[in-house]
A and B are shown apart, each in its own frame.
Chain A
Amino acid sequence: AQRVTQPEKLLSVFKGAPVELKCNYSYSGSPELFWYVQYSRQRLQLLLRHISRESIKGFTADLNKGETSFHLKKPFAQEEDSAMYYCALRVWGGGNKLTFGTGTQLKVEL
């Protein structure tokens, strides 16, 4: 069975500092990886997915199959980045089932 691990429950950084939210997964096949974000009092929303290979709100994430990781990065944190971030995995051809990590709360301090 697949598993997603986010080792940090809380990550606190200063505004302008680089951000890296860690995500590791375990799955023997080829997974599809996502980052979802939940801002305060808002619904869970898709931030980015590895197949798109795009930057959203300055965030990027690269799938590293060798290290089974999909870390989320941003070079300069902004106050509005403060939110809960979830890494999720979907199995190709396995329907819409998403396996989520436990989430990391990002707090950007002034």
Chain B
Amino acid sequence: DAGVTQSPTHLIKTRGQQVTLRCSPISGHKSVSWYQQVLGQGPQFIFQYYEKEERGRGNFPDRFSARQFPNYSSELNVNALLLGDSALYLCASSLASPASNQPQHFGDGTRLSIL
């Protein structure tokens, strides 16, 4: 089992650009969540998707968007990048519906640096 896989591992962008981050959940997992982890802080919830529908959204601006595909993989898009978007972006997957108490499994993350 490869676990949750994220790509790319590192990314460098400049202010104003757009970025797409990708996540493949553990096989059989239908729920995917995205988190932002700024240096020195704990992860902060951005989105949750289940069965291709958004099931939760954190306190992030509309520049952040995401989607989930039929194979349950997911993409996180960030537009009009700001310096403050520099962070580690984590993807987590879980087995079942958001209402269940299944634990989440995290990927290694994508390190995004904004110049």
A and B together in one complex: yes
Q: Which residues of A contact B (CB under 8 A)?
A: 4, 32, 34, 36, 43-46, 49, 51, 86, 88, 92-103
B40 touches A95 (CB 8 A): no
How near does chain B come to A36, taking the closest CB pair, in angstroms?
8
How near does chain A come to B94, taking the closest CB pair, in angstroms?
6
Q: Which residues of B contact A (CB under 8 A)?
A: 3-4, 31, 33, 35, 40-45, 48, 55-56, 58, 90, 92, 94, 98-99, 101, 103-109
A93 / chain B contacts, CB cutoff of 8 Å: 99
Contact of B108 among A43, A88, A101 (CB under 8 A): A43
A96 touches B94 (CB 8 A): yes
7 pairs of residues in contact across A and B, judged by CB atoms under 8 Å: A4-B42, A34-B103, A51-B101, A95-B55, A96-B55, A97-B58, A101-B42
B103 touches A43 (CB 8 A): no
How near does chain B come to A57, taking the closest CB pair, in angstroms?
16
Closest 10 CB pairs of A and B: A100-B42, A95-B98, A44-B106, A95-B56, A97-B45, A43-B108, A96-B48, A100-B43, A46-B103, A96-B33
In the bound complex, what is the Cα–Cα distance between A97 and B33 (angstroms)? Answer: 8
Contact of A100 among B4, B44, B56, B109 (CB under 8 A): B44
